[in-house]
Amino acid sequence: MAADTTAPGLPLAESDPDRPPASLQIRAWLARRTESVAIPLGAVAAGFLIFSLFLVALGKSPLAFLDLVWRGGFGSPFALQNSLQRAAPLLFAALCVALPARLGLVVIGGEGAIVLGGVAAAAAAQPLQGLSPLLAVPLMALAAVAAGAAWIGAVGALRAYRGVNETIASLLMSYIALALSNHLIEGWLRDPASLNKPSTAPIGEAFMVGALPGLDVHWGLGIGVLACLAAYALTERTTIGFAARIAGGNLRAAQIQGLPVGRLVVSFTALGGACAALAGFFEVAAVHGNANASLNAGFGYTGILVAFLARHNPLAILPVAFLLGGIEASSGLIQRRMQLPDATVLVLEGLLFLVVLVSETLYGRFKPFSPHLWAEKRRAVS
């Protein structure tokens, strides 16, 4: 602005004194990339600091807490495998938030899609009995994916074509999914043999998905990692992902460019729902062996935290899900050793979420991370 008014007639491009040297451009590149790591890390530290006050108020030592998180989540091969096992559904659940977020949508109904996916997989297993697992297991996964995609895709369609707020709609749809699943598990799909805990009929040993080679962690982790990599490629490396970012960055600009905004919204929400449903599929096919109320374990909600901490970047979801998986894995140990209620980890997660949301307002505020502010300073000096 300043340069415009002071020298309107000058050929700006040639005599441009502001063109930064190469070294500065590299520093600028680094600075922009550091920001999205430094701010979430700072937020996690701040969240833990507030959580420490909570522990101190209860007369517990924050250091002892950290030590137990380390031992319960990361300190031994057993703990590590436990954390990875818990990280697997979080990867899928986080993608259900991160993919629609590319379009500027906040979808929080992943829990419903997980449960519905699990029920769909368990229901699909029944007519497939007797088939080769090589054929039946993918078909079960397909049933789960179709259910989840339809459920969250419907939220996207309501948003795109009817202007319904996707956050509220996904939350309400999640409750409907839970109610529907309970109805099916306790009604049509109920195994008469499940007396105390209503469940669907077991899918059978033959259809169970095994562990990753050399690990005691089921295949859900491997597929989850692949899903994150694929989501990264889709959002960052394809033109479809770029179109979604334009629509998320400015809906009007996307419409004026003639981009199919409605179709993008429906596709990305459906894809997110499909991912969440895969979490439900693995819970059934790799963990429980049937669908019951255990499916509703809150992965969908922890997934929201994972996605926000990862800033909706599918690659960053990998370490964040591992971290959160570890914290959840150590929850039992913390309860026993520190005599803390089982909601303690929820308190920590809630605090982290709050701090992460607040930290969203800090982007572009710190000079070391914002090269355009350096330039302004240099211009003002010269």
Partner 1 sequence: MSAPAPSGALAIETVGMTKRFGGFTALDDVSMKIEAGGFHALLGENGAGKSTFVKCVMGFYPPSAGSVLIDGREAEITGPKGAQARGLGMVYQHFTLVPSLTGAENLVIGRADAPAILDWTAERAALADFMARMPFRLNLDRPVAELAAGEKQKLEIVKQLYLKARFLILDEPTSVLTPTEAEEVLGLLRGMADAGALTVLMISHKFREVEAFARSLSVLRRGRLVGGGAVGALSRDDMAAMMVGERTTRTIAARIGEPDRAREILRVEGLTATDVSGLRRIDVADLRVRAHEIVGIAGVSGNGQKELADVLGGQIRATGGRVAIQGEPYGGTRAESRRHRVRFIPEEPLRNACAPRMSVAENLAFRAFDRRGDDPDGPPTLWLDRRAMSRRAKDLIARFKVKTASSEAPIATLSGGNVQRAVLARELTDPVDLLIVVNPCFGLDFAAVAEIRSRIVAARNAGAAVLLISEDLDEILELSDRICVMSDGRLVYETPAAAAEAGVIGRHMAGHH
Residue 341 region by backbone torsions, left for phi larger than 0, else alpha for psi between -120 and 50, else beta: beta
The Cα–Cα gap between 97 and 115 comes to 16
| Shortest Å distance, C-beta 20 to partner 1 | 7
End-to-end CA gap in the chain: 15
Count Cβ neighbours within 10 Å for each residue of 213-249 and write b for 16 or more, e otherwise: eeeebbbbbebbbebbeebbebbeeeeebebbebbbe
Q: Is 315 in the site for partner 1 (CB under 8 A)?
A: no
CA distance 280 to 284: 6
- Binding to partner 1 (CB under 8 A) within 252-281 occurs at 252-253, 255-260
Does position 333 bind partner 1 by CB under 8 A? no
Please report how close the Cβ of residue 362 comes to partner 1 at its closest, in angstroms.
Answer: 14
Query: Which residues partner with 190 through β-bridges?
Result: 200
Out of 123, 184, 246, 304, the only residue in the binding site for partner 1 (CB under 8 A) is: 246
| CA 355 to mean position of chain CA atoms | 17
Answer for which of 34, 61, 165, 238 binds partner 1 (CB under 8 A) is 238
* 27 sits near partner 1 (criterion: CB under 8 A): no
- The nearest distance, CB 160 to partner 1, in angstroms, is 14
Tell me the window of 142-150, 209-217, 237-245, 283-291 that interacts with partner 1 (CB under 8 A).
Answer: 237-245
Q: Binding residue for partner 1 (CB under 8 A) from 54, 70, 301, 374?
A: 374
**Structure tokens, 318:** 């990998």
Q: Is the dihedral of CA 286, 289, 290, 291 positive or negative?
A: negative
The tokens for 340 are 């803390």
Contact assessment for residue 106 and residue 348, using Cβ atoms and an 8 Å cutoff: no
Our finding on whether 97 is near partner 1 (CB under 8 A) is no
| Binding-site string for partner 1 from residue 197 to residue 236, where x marks contact by CB under 8 A and - marks none | ---------------------------------------x
- Mapped onto helix, strand or coil, the DSSP state of residue 24 is helix
Q: Which of 30, 138, 250, 343 touches partner 1 by CB under 8 A?
A: 250
Amino acid identity of residue 170, one-letter, is S
Closest approach of partner 1 to the CB of residue 249, in Å? 3
Stretch that binds partner 1, among 42-50, 60-68, 347-355, 366-374 (CB under 8 A): 366-374
| CA dihedral of 372, 105, 142, 111, whole degrees rounded to 10 | 110
| Strand, helix or coil for residue 67 | helix
Q: Is 36 in the site for partner 1 (CB under 8 A)?
A: no
- For partner 1, give the closer residue by CB, 162 or 252: 252
**Interaction mask 7-26, partner 1, x per CB under 8 A:** -xx-xxx--x-x-x----x-
- Closer to partner 1 by Cβ: residue 342 or 360: 360
Interacting residues with partner 1 (CB under 8 A):
1, 3-5, 8-9, 11-13, 16, 18, 20, 25, 28-29, 32, 236-243, 245-246, 248-250, 252-253, 255-260, 364, 371-372, 374-376
